[in-house]
Amino acid sequence: MVKTPRVYVDTSVIGGCCDSEFQQWSEGLLKDFEMRLLLPVISEIVIAEILDAPPRVQERLAELHDADPEVIKVTPAAEDLAQAYLAQGILSANYSDDALHIALATIANVDILTSWNFRHIVHFDKIRVFNAVNLQHGYKSIQICSPREVTYHGNQGS
């Protein structure tokens, strides 16, 4: 039996549903969740960040809730791992929430973390260092990519 992949969705992916540059793939990913081809995982951080987003983005989060996402709570272990990323200099303290997204997904042992944040998250050199820190702290490497690389439905016609 094939295991359905658990996919952590950061805030940018949900916001991407309302951005013409990313909409096709963000919407496709939500469709994949709805069809249970992939299992959505979000965190308290995603929910908190979207509370400040425009109503259209908040509506997309509400639609994602229809797919019954797993919601990860912030834990001291995740905060410690995020601090380790910052101490390694992968990100500055200004981007501690980005570090926390990665730490939460790592500790939850998701199959994939998706993001449209190419500067701080979906960046080859940074992913290598995130995973080096993960291994140093006893965690597995995490696969990080954009929804474009993950979704089944967003890639139709591309």
Distance CA 8, CA 68 (A): 13
Entry pTM:
0.93
- Report the DSSP beta bridge partners of residue 130: none
Percent of the chain with pLDDT over 90: 91
User: Which residues face 41 on adjacent strands?
Assistant: 8, 70
Over residues 6-35, the mean pLDDT reads 96
The stretch 28-47 carries a mean pLDDT of 96
Which sequence spans correspond to the domains of the chain? 6-149
Give the Cα separation of 131 and 91 in Å (integer): 14
Q: What is the pLDDT of residue 158?
A: 44
- pLDDT number for residue 20: 95
Residue 46, C-beta contacts closer than 8 angstroms, at least 6 positions apart: 9, 10, 11, 14, 61, 101
- Those residues whose C-beta lies under 8 Å from the C-beta of residue 93, and which sit 6 or more positions away, are 86
Q: What is the mean pLDDT of the chain?
A: 94
Average pLDDT, integer, range 40-66: 94
Percent of the chain with pLDDT over 70: 97
- CA 82, CA 33: separation in Å to the nearest integer? 27
Among residues 107, 146, 89, the alpha carbon closest in space to that of 123 is found at: 146
For residues 18 and 140, what is the distance between their CA atoms, to the nearest angstrom? 33
The pLDDT value recorded for residue 44 is 96
Compute the distance between CA of residue 78 and CA of residue 99 in angstroms, rounded to an integer: 9
**Assigned CATH class of 6-149:** alpha beta
Name the helix (H) or strand (E) containing 57.
Answer: helix 55-65
Q: Tens digit of pLDDT for each residue in 61-77?
A: 999 988 999 999 999 99
pLDDT of amino acid 93 = 94
Average pLDDT (30-37) is 94
| pLDDT for position 156 | 58
Give the mean model confidence (pLDDT) for residues 21-27.
Answer: 96
Give the model confidence (pLDDT) of 124-137 as tens digits.
999 999 999 999 99
Q: Which two tokens stand for residue 136?
A: 């140093």
**pLDDT at site 153:** 82
